[in-house]
Structure 1
Amino acid sequence: MRLQTINKLKQAGLKLFAKKGLAATNIKEIAREAQVSLGLIYHYYPSKEDLYLSLANEAMEKSQGVADQLNRLESSIRDKICLFIDAFLHGVQKEDGIYYFIIISQSFETGKRDEDQQLLEKKLQSIRNLAALVQQGQERGECAEGDPFQLASTFISATQGIASFKLMFGEQFTLPDKEILIRILLK
């Protein structure tokens, strides 16, 4: 029962934070969406900021998990990047998947300086990890020329924008062809 309640709270928070942002979401809305009492939320999360940080960290852990899987693969940089793009395009077509992408891309300030800074560092590290992959690809002649960090930042920005558009426009938005995303990083 406990895990079921936490899951309901997370799903409600994830949906509302992705659609409205941290500042515009209030704890009563989360309770209503999760169909639980306000007191029950406070039993598990002292504030909406704590729930948000939990979800944002979970989103970053999922993202890092994908990156770790790709790094363990014995394949070309091109294949790794193509697999990442495939996973992204598949993920933004699922309701909770797109919410996680949006949570990762949001600018936030919970008022918990240390936790905010740690989360920001995780986000920055994910760009550095992709930049390292791009640099390896450049050394092997697989990736586009240019500053690896700028290429990685541009790519991440594009994927986050695509996720935002998909959430905003729903079925009216057509995901871009995989080749368009590939051209940002690969030759």
Structure 2
Amino acid sequence: MSPKVPDQHKEQRQREILSASKKVFAKKGYEATSIKDIMEATGISRGGIYDYFSNKEHIFLSLLEQSMEDNRKEIDTLLQKNNGSVWKTLLAIWDDYREAKNEDKEDSFSAAIIEYGIAHWRKPENRGYIENRYGKAAGIFSSLIQKGIDNGEFDPVTSVDDISRFMISFLDGIAISAITLTHGFMQTGKQIDLFENSMKSMLNVKEPDLSQR
């Protein structure tokens, strides 16, 4: 009978595999990455990896779930940093897209996510997951906007759900275009300025000083 591995050790090993795998996916992309690449990056045998994940896709989907949770935590952190102001938190999120021009496109996990979504949405077994992930992202933004309404910052002119979906469509579009185009060519800053003005109107922002970021 093999010895029982402590749960803490299992969680640590899973984190190690996910951390190393994320770097590989970011470097090579989803399709080009193999279990062998992950084995080499982690120093863990094939059997050792399969003790925790059934295949490459299982690892990648686990990273997507981790990414979603990280985004949620980042929003909570930004809310605290901005003393609970949802509008300033949204501005900070959008500023990240302005600053994304400094990222290395050849070493981007975001590019791997986009690659996976585009290549795998046709698979019937994946559509449910992709739709569920979109729904979770929309839910995060809807909850954030609702908090702004409850705080008295917003009095939106249309439904919270519609605004959340509009925001995702714009930000996803910027992210996808940024993979193949330069931010200068896209004029990302100007696009985000227009987007902010649109969001300001849709949310009917009531915060007194909108100039402060």
Query: Shorter-chain-normalised TM-score: which range?
Result: 0.5 to 0.7
Q: Which amino acid aligns with 1:132?
A: S
Q: Distance in 2 between matches of 1:128 and 1:176?
A: 26
CA-CA distance at 1:138 after TM superposition: 4.9
Task: Tell me whether 1:181 sits opposite 2:195 in the alignment.
Answer: yes
Q: Percent identity?
A: 14
1:144/1:185 contact within 8 Å kept: no
- Which one of 35, 48, 56 corresponds to residue 43 of structure 1? 48
- Which one of 83, 91, 99 corresponds to residue 74 of structure 1? 83
Q: TM-score, normalised by structure 1?
A: 0.67
Q: Distance in 1 between matches of 2:153 and 2:33?
A: 51
Summarize the alignment of residues 24-63 of structure 1 with structure 2, pairs less than 5 Å apart: 25-28=31-34, 31=36, 40=45, 43-44=48-49, 45-63=53-71
Distance change in 2, residues 1:102/1:10 (3 Å): closer
Task: Tell me whether 1:99 sits opposite 2:99 in the alignment.
Answer: no
Equivalent pairs counted in the alignment come to 177
Distance change in 2, residues 1:92/1:134 (3 Å): farther
Give CA deviations for 1:59-79 in whole Å, capped at 9, x if unaligned. 112211122223444243321
Task: Tell me whether 1:156 sits opposite 2:156 in the alignment.
Answer: no
2:87/2:148 contact within 8 Å kept: yes
Name whichever of 81-90 and 132-141 sits farther off: 132-141
Distance change in 2, residues 1:70/1:119 (3 Å): farther
Q: Distance in 1 between matches of 2:104 and 2:39?
A: 16
Q: Which amino acid aligns with 2:88?
A: D
Task: Tell me whether 1:14 sits opposite 2:34 in the alignment.
Answer: no
Distance change in 2, residues 1:42/1:123 (3 Å): farther
SS at match of 2:189: coil
Q: Which amino acid aligns with 2:103?
A: K
CA-CA distance at 1:174 after TM superposition: 3.7
Q: Which amino acid aligns with 1:61?
A: E
Give CA deviations for 1:131-167 in whole Å, capped at 9, x if unaligned. 2332444563546521111111111111111111111
Q: Distance in 2 between matches of 1:49 and 1:185?
A: 36
For structure 2, the residue ranges without an aligned partner over 5 or more in a row are 1-12, 202-213
Distance change in 2, residues 1:54/1:142 (3 Å): same
Distance change in 2, residues 1:93/1:144 (3 Å): farther
Give CA deviations for 1:109-148 in whole Å, capped at 9, x if unaligned. 6x8x7x9867754542331231233244456354652111
